[in-house]
């Protein structure tokens, strides 16, 4: 049952399989009885190619006012040179993350049957507004033999601390509270020092949480060979991006991995999207796995306090034991709806 409120949700289907999986997720949410009033925004590669439009200030402000934003995926096909790298990723997705102060990227994983991490549950809490994504740097003497490209990593005490505190809160709610900082403190000594000190300081407030540390390269081994060691992984923006795809692969495939871009202070809308991208290689074929988008919608429902509907859909996803490839997007969606 819905909590009787109608939630105003902005929907950005985007590119490739984005609109397909978003439509499937909306269908499931509505079938669970949640009342949504949706407004679609045509943004992404196609819109950019057609109108030269990415995201203006007025649209950003409009999006801020919704109860939530659902996004499919944005980005051109790999090798499509009509759109310079970063125009959409920076101009749309990162603009939303930075502009709406979505400083947490929460990515929960659950190893499906037959996956390397079968039965394991863990989450990545990725800092979402700083690190190398902040855009510090530039190119000097571009196109000359003397050119210089720098790309800095921004790590503020404020930004690191609010992310680490959120990760501890998440870890504290686990049956076996464990938090692992993943970084590269043996080489990135400045940023690593700040992250380590902040983790040690905040840990004092959470004595029930066991704290661990992995270098990011070793974390890639453990995620494959020993994923049960993790509860919550807290890490910076770039490591979190890379580890998410690896975590998706070991828990059953990127088509299952969900994410919530959160503004926990709720000064504006939060954004919910699958971890995967536009997957142009399978767009339009009906083969895209909608479960990542559906699970992202579950995170949205939790955020909107639609706890019962969220649990019902999450259970239907967890109990899903069909063949995604054989069923395709529509078949998986119908299967879920039939078991709500």
Interacting residues of 88 by C-beta distance below 8 A, sequence separation 6+: 44, 45, 48, 54, 74, 75, 76
CA–CA separation, 304 and 298 (whole Å): 10
Active-site residue flag, 41? no
Tokens of 251: 């828990």
Looking at residues 264 to 303 of the shown chain, list those that interact with Mn ion (rule: CB under 5 A).
Answer: none
Would you say 174 or 238 has its CB closer to ligand NAD? 238
Residue 236 touching ligand IPM (CB under 6 A): no
DSSP SS3 for 42: coil
Residue 215 forms beta bridges with which residues?
183
Determine whether 334 is an active site residue.
no
Q: Is 161 among the residues that bind ligand IPM (CB under 6 A)?
A: no
Q: Site for ligand NAD (CB under 6 A): which residue of 108, 111, 255, 268?
A: 255
CB nearer Mn ion, residue 180 or residue 237: 237
Contact with Mn ion (CB under 5 A) among 15, 20, 27, 241 = 241
Of 101, 184, 230, 236, the active-site residue reads: 184
CB of 96 to ligand IPM, least distance (A): 10
Q: According to CB under 6 A, which residues from 70 to 89 bind ligand NAD?
A: 73-76, 78, 89
How many angstroms separate the CA atoms of 271 and 71, rounded? Answer: 7
Tell me whether residue 281 is one of the annotated catalytic residues: no
Is residue 241 within the footprint of ligand IPM (CB under 6 A)?
A: yes
Is residue 319 among the annotated active site residues?
no
Three state DSSP letters for 123-186: EEEEECCCEHHHCCEEEECCCCCCCEEEECCECCHHHHHHHHHHHHHHHHCCCCCEEEEEECCC
Q: Which residues, 6+ apart, have CB-to-CB distance to 145 below 8 Å?
A: none
Q: Does 93 bind ligand NAD (CB under 6 A)?
A: yes
Among the listed residues 120, 275, 292, 310, the single contact to ligand IPM using CB under 6 A:
275
Q: What is the rounded CA–CA span in Å between residue 51 and residue 56?
A: 13
Phi/psi of residue 313, nearest 5 degrees: -70, -40
| Contact pattern for ligand IPM over residues 101 through 140, marking x by CB under 6 A | ----------------------------------------
Q: Token match 């800092």: residue?
A: 127
**3 bridge partner residues:** none
Region 36-75 residues binding ligand IPM, contact defined as CB under 6 A: 75
Query: Which residues in this chain contact ligand IPM in the complex, by CB under 6 A?
Result: 75, 89, 93-94, 241, 244, 275
Applying CB under 6 A, the residues found at the interface with ligand NAD are: 17, 21, 73-76, 78, 89, 93, 254-255, 273, 276-279, 281-282, 288-289, 292
Catalytic annotation, residues: 133, 184, 217, 241, 245
């Amino acid at each position: 049952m819905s909590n009787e409120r109608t939630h105003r949700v902005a929907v950005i289907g985007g590119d490739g399989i984005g609109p397909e999986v978003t439509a499937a997720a909306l269908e499931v949410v509505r079938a669970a009885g949640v009342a949504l009033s949706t407004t679609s925004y045509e943004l992404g590669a196609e819109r950019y190619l057609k109108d030269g439009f990415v995201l203006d200030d007025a649209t950003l402000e409009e999006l801020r006012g919704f109860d939530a934003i659902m996004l499919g995926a944005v980005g051109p096909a790999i090798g499509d040179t009509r759109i310079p790298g970063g125009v959409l990723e920076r101009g749309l997705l990162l603009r939303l993350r930075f502009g709406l102060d979505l400083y947490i990227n929460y990515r929960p994983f659950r190893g499906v049957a037959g996956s390397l991490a079968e039965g394991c549950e863990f989450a990545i809490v990725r800092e979402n507004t700083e690190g190398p994504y902040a855009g510090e740097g530039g190119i000097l003497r571009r196109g000359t033999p003397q050119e210089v490209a720098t790309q800095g990593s921004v790590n503020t005490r404020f930004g690191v601390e609010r992310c680490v505190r959120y990760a501890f809160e998440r870890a504290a709610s686990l049956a076996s509270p464990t938090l692992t900082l993943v970084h590269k403190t043996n080489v990135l000594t400045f940023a690593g020092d700040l992250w380590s000190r902040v983790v040690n300081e905040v840990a004092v407030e959470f004595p029930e949480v066991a704290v661990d540390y992995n270098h990011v390269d070793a974390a890639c081994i453990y995620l494959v060979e020993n994923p049960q060691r993790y509860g919550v992984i807290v890490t910076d923006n770039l490591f979190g991006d890379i580890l998410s795809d690896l975590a998706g692969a070991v828990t059953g495939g990127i088509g299952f991995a969900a994410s919530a871009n959160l503004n926990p202070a709720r000064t504006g809308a939060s954004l919910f999207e699958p971890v995967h991208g536009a997957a142009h290689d399978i767009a339009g074929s009906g083969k895209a796995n909608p479960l990542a988008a559906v699970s992202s919608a579950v995170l949205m429902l939790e955020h909107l306090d639609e706890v019962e509907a969220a649990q019902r859909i999450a259970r239907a996803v967890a109990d899903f034991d069909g063949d995604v490839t054989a069923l395709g997007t529509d078949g998986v969606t119908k299967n879920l709806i039939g078991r709500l």
